[in-house]
Structure 1
Amino acid sequence: MTAQTNAGTKIGISKPLPATFDKAGYAALIFADIGEVTNGGSHGRTYAVVNHNPIATRGTQKYKGSFNEGQKTIQLAVDPDDPGQVVVKEALNDDADYAFSVTYQDGSIDYFLAKVMSWSKSTESVDSMYSASISLELTTAKDGTGIIEVPAP
């Protein structure tokens, strides 16, 4: 595989959750693309560091502890008629997880669960778009499944 740009990347949202937290479960969902995205943000797993300091050796040993799938901030131009943005606004006032997909230029896909934590509107200047930032908190399924990475076909 060669390097690629983000051109053509799509971010989708689905209120129904997958029946199974794997490629097949997520692929069975219908995602509404979130329109007018200008910055898709970043996401990925981070582990907590567990330090162990044996008194005999004085050296700190490090282990992996719990993991967190992280946060994702999406920036977009506001379009009140965009189906994906409508679902995002619904999710903002819902405590439930929603399913998300990020489909890259080469066809590879990341699937994950997240809660929509904020929708912040911006009116910066006459030479800028009426925009918003969406904050997502990625979660894990009860079975511990986090981000599902599906390689390009």
Structure 2
Amino acid sequence: MGLQSSVGIKVGVSASLPATHDDTGFAALTYTNCGKLNGAPAMTGTKDVATFDDLSTGEEWKLVDILRAGNGDMSYGYDAEDTGQAALETAAESATDDGSKVALEFTLNNGDKYYRLAIITSYTPEGSVGNVLMATVGTEFYRKHIKVAA
């Protein structure tokens, strides 16, 4: 498959976390679809780079360092009856670490899946004249993403 449209990306949420941090652990969960997705965050993290200046040679060295899981916002057309959005809102309102953490399943048009663990930091309905009422969901990802090819 060559290029593919972003239209059709699906996001599922699970309040349960995987027993193992691999494709089997994530696939064993039950996900609730989050409807009316308008924008998705980055589905992977980035690697930091550690640097060293070698004064004896005048060269700079670079080494792969820690993985930063990242963060980002998801945006949705606000729908109070959408059970996936309700699960995200519940996680955002939780006062506990366990209650704020969710597993997310991003499914692309070609069937590839990206699994992420996230702390839901906010669920914010926002409106303006001439626009649909939106909900922005703040996410702080942790641990490495898991990609499963279709």
Query: TM-score, normalized by length of structure 1?
Result: 0.89
Please identify, of 100-109 and 114-123, the stretch whose mean Cα deviation from structure 2 is larger: 114-123
The residue that corresponds to 1:139 in the other structure is: 142
The residue that corresponds to 1:88 in the other structure is: 88
Q: Distance in 1 between matches of 2:119 and 2:35?
A: 18
The residue that corresponds to 2:10 in the other structure is: 10
The residue that corresponds to 1:55 in the other structure is: 55
1:72-110 Cα distance to aligned partner (Å, 9 max, x none): 211111111110011001111232321000011111110
> Unpaired runs of 5+ in structure 1?
141-145
The residue that corresponds to 1:124 in the other structure is: 128
Q: Distance in 1 between matches of 2:140 and 2:35?
A: 20
Q: Distance in 2 between matches of 1:105 and 1:43?
A: 14
The residue that corresponds to 1:151 in the other structure is: 149
C-alpha displacement of 1:34? 0.9
Aligned mate of 2:119, from 108, 115, 121: 115
Report the residue type matching 2:137 in the other structure.
Answer: I
Query: TM-score, normalized by length of structure 2?
Result: 0.91
1:41 and 1:74 in contact (8 A); partners too: yes
Q: Distance in 2 between matches of 1:44 and 1:83?
A: 25
2:33 and 2:83 in contact (8 A); partners too: yes
Aligned-residue identity in percent: 27
Query: Which one has the bigger strand percentage?
Result: 2
Runs of 4+ in 1 over 6 A off after TM superposition: none
Please identify, of 80-89 and 45-54, the stretch whose mean Cα deviation from structure 2 is larger: 45-54
C-alpha displacement of 1:7? 1.9
**Secondary structure of the equivalent of 2:54?**
coil
C-alpha displacement of 1:10? 0.5
> Unpaired runs of 5+ in structure 2?
none
